[in-house]
């Protein structure tokens, strides 16, 4: 089966345009108080073009994420109408919103890896202290003499 590069390219362009337009709406056009400070991270357009999923990163806690998701779901019809008017297209896919927590998960993973590295260094220092002879007064961390 041949690869449909033009179709994939078109779908990518449409998805990026959707993301740009929705981001512009989030920055100032939607006046719902439930919608917290957020930005669009990714738009996933279905192969048939009938639906798309918009991933939104919310700057805040879980309560703000929940209320923002409710506000965005309530504003779907307005967003679709605005996209139709701005892009001049006949068909705008059904939009569903989801919270993107990948940035928070990535930050947490970085923190866990830092803690693991600190523990590893602590264990290595303890092992080096135990392995050093008892009467030795040389420092174990930096054996090279320091120049003045």
The dihedral of CA 81, 30, 58, 17: what is its sign?
positive
Residues 16 and 22: their CA atoms lie apart, in Å, by 10
Report pTM. 0.70
The answer to the question of residue 138 being in a domain is no
Assigned domain for 133 exists: no
Number of structural domains in the chain = 1
Domain for residue 92, yes or no?
yes
- Which CATH number belongs to the domain containing residue 92 in this structure? 3.30.300.20
Q: Is residue 141 part of a domain?
A: no
Helix ranges (H only) for 25-148 are 62-74, 76-87, 102-131
> How high is the pLDDT of residue 98?
93
Supply the range of the domain harboring residue 69: 5-100
Q: What is the mean pLDDT of the chain?
A: 85
In a domain, 124, yes or no: no
The reply to whether 93 falls in a domain is yes
Give, as one character, the DSSP assignment of residue 75: T
pLDDT at 140: 56
């Amino acid at each position: 089966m041949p690869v449909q590069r033009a179709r994939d390219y078109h779908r990518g362009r449409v998805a990026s345009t959707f993301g740009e337009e929705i981001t512009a709406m989030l920055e100032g056009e939607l006046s719902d108080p439930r919608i917290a400070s957020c930005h669009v991270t990714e738009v996933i357009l279905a192969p048939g073009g009938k639906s798309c999923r918009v991933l939104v990163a919310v700057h805040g806690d879980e309560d703000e994420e929940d209320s923002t998701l409710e506000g965005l779901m309530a504003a779907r019809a307005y967003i679709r109408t605005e996209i139709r008017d701005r892009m001049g297209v006949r068909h705008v896919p059904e939009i569903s919103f989801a919270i993107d927590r990948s940035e928070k998960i990535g930050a947490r993973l970085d923190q866990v890896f830092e803690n693991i590295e600190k523990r590893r260094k602590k264990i290595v220092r303890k092992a080096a202290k135990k392995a050093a002879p008892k009467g030795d007064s040389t420092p174990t961390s930096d054996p090279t003499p320091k120049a003045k």
